[in-house]
Amino acid sequence: MESFPTNSIHRYNRRTKLFIAEQHVHIDQASKADAENMISQLEASYQQLASSQLNLDLTRGKPSPAQVALASDLDGILQGNYVDADGIDTRNYGGLAGIREARELCAAISGCDPDQTLLGVNSSLNLMYQVVEFALNFGLQGDAWKQSGAVRILCPVPGYDRHFALCEHLGIDMVPLPMTATGPDMDQAEALVREDPAIKGIWCVPRFSNPSGDTYSSATVERLAKLGKIAGAGFLVLWDNAYAVHSLYEDAPVLPAIDHYLDAETESSVVQFGSTSKITFAGAGLAWLCSSADNIKRISSHLAFSTIGADKVNQLRHVRFLQNRAGVEAHMRKHAELVRPRFELVLKLLEEELEGSGLATWTKPKGGYFIQLNTRRGLAREVVKLAADIGVKLTPAGATWPYGRDPRDSDIRLAPTFPDHNELEAAVRAFIVCLKLASWRQLR
């Protein structure tokens, strides 16, 4: 290690066996000699990582084993008592919308009316698919979307890859719409729906958005509630509130209720989705949707062709376990205890290694599951590849954009929840080496 110049910007760290930033040189102010010095140190770190045979994964936006274990008491909680508060034997057929107690619980999580809440299978993505497919082929309010030819949906970007995959699968064109720290760019959204009648909906992840972690402001929520007035009949705001109760801090931003801004003309233009995937069991939770009474009636009639009803035993288990909104909040504080240190670790490493370097910007979410990092233009793919080559999996570059096309090739989604502390530190340190190496090499 002595062979490196003494004006080194990095310091060799014996514990991590990596060069770690000691002094932050902004890449735009670096000399050629600085750049070459950086590259040789980073290549040494990269080789060191390559020889360590890493097998790390920063892609998984899923709860850690300790998080799912928080809900292990679901198992056996019914103790043979399968009858709900209304005297319904949950083991038997019936009740397409779900048992009343579960509708009340889920409505409390989403801030909706239990009478306008319908439970589905364990995945909210499944309900989103059902609703979009129904609107496309049959029409939810009014004509089938496909009746007038091309169908387009506004996609705030970066966004959730599975929303985009769903659209692509159903042949719906996607129109990227810039995200801001207060939600989608509403000037553009309104202009686009005004100009293009083929735009039939918009995806929204309104609290702790995937991947930026941003929460929509009240002004944005109000304009989204009214977007249907501009767009016309059949337009849908697909309100995927997957992270409704997933704050990591007491002072995390609160999402204004969209219902508050709805009136008789717009109430059927909003369909809200939620689930307990990241509250209890990601693979065996509850999922629901909330909308106008009329939409609930129409969606129920449509679903009745494919199901007699969802798993009511699981609904009852969840009611007994979580009980009510206060029970959910108490449970989510336990999740926050597990997730917060992971977010803080990632943010600390990014800050120590990258702050003031001009190599990246990143979000600092107060909740949710992701951190969004932006590399310098044209580098995300290269960084993800460098990381993959040394055994560190990152979400594929471009995944947060429709059709996988990030025009700046700069968005990278980091998912801190799943790995344990040591793995997370090792993965983020390795990621940072790859990011720096790609960035400095780009100067050559």
Residues in touch with ligand PLP (CB under 6 A): 61, 123-125, 160, 205, 210, 240, 242, 275, 277, 287
- Residue 246 or 436: which CB sits closer to ligand PLP? 246
Smallest separation (angstroms) from ligand PLP to the CB of 434: 24
Smallest separation (angstroms) from ligand PLP to the CB of 82: 24
Measured distance CA(416)–CA(344) in Å, rounded: 9
What is the distance in angstroms between the CA of the first residue and the CA of the last residue of the chain? 24
Rounding to the nearest 10 degrees, give the CA dihedral for residues 185, 340, 346, 363. 10
Q: At what angle do helices 421-442 and 325-354 cross, to 10 degrees?
A: 40
- Residue 363 or 439: which CB sits closer to ligand PLP? 363
Smallest separation (angstroms) from ligand PLP to the CB of 160: 4
- Residue 272 or 374: which CB sits closer to ligand PLP? 272
Strands (E), 26-172: 56-57, 117-119, 152-157
- Residue 124 or 395: which CB sits closer to ligand PLP? 124
**Interior angle at CA 301, CA 300 and CA 306, nearest 5:** 85
Measured distance CA(346)–CA(348) in Å, rounded: 5
Smallest separation (angstroms) from ligand PLP to the CB of 240: 5
Residue listed under structure tokens 């109430």: 267
Q: Are the CB atoms for 318 and 286 separated by under 8 Å?
A: yes
Smallest separation (angstroms) from ligand PLP to the CB of 165: 12
Q: What residues pair up with 175 in beta bridges, in sequence order?
A: 154
Smallest separation (angstroms) from ligand PLP to the CB of 220: 17
- Residue 10 or 317: which CB sits closer to ligand PLP? 317
Rounding to the nearest 10 degrees, give the CA dihedral for residues 21, 22, 23, 25. -20
- Residue 240 or 353: which CB sits closer to ligand PLP? 240
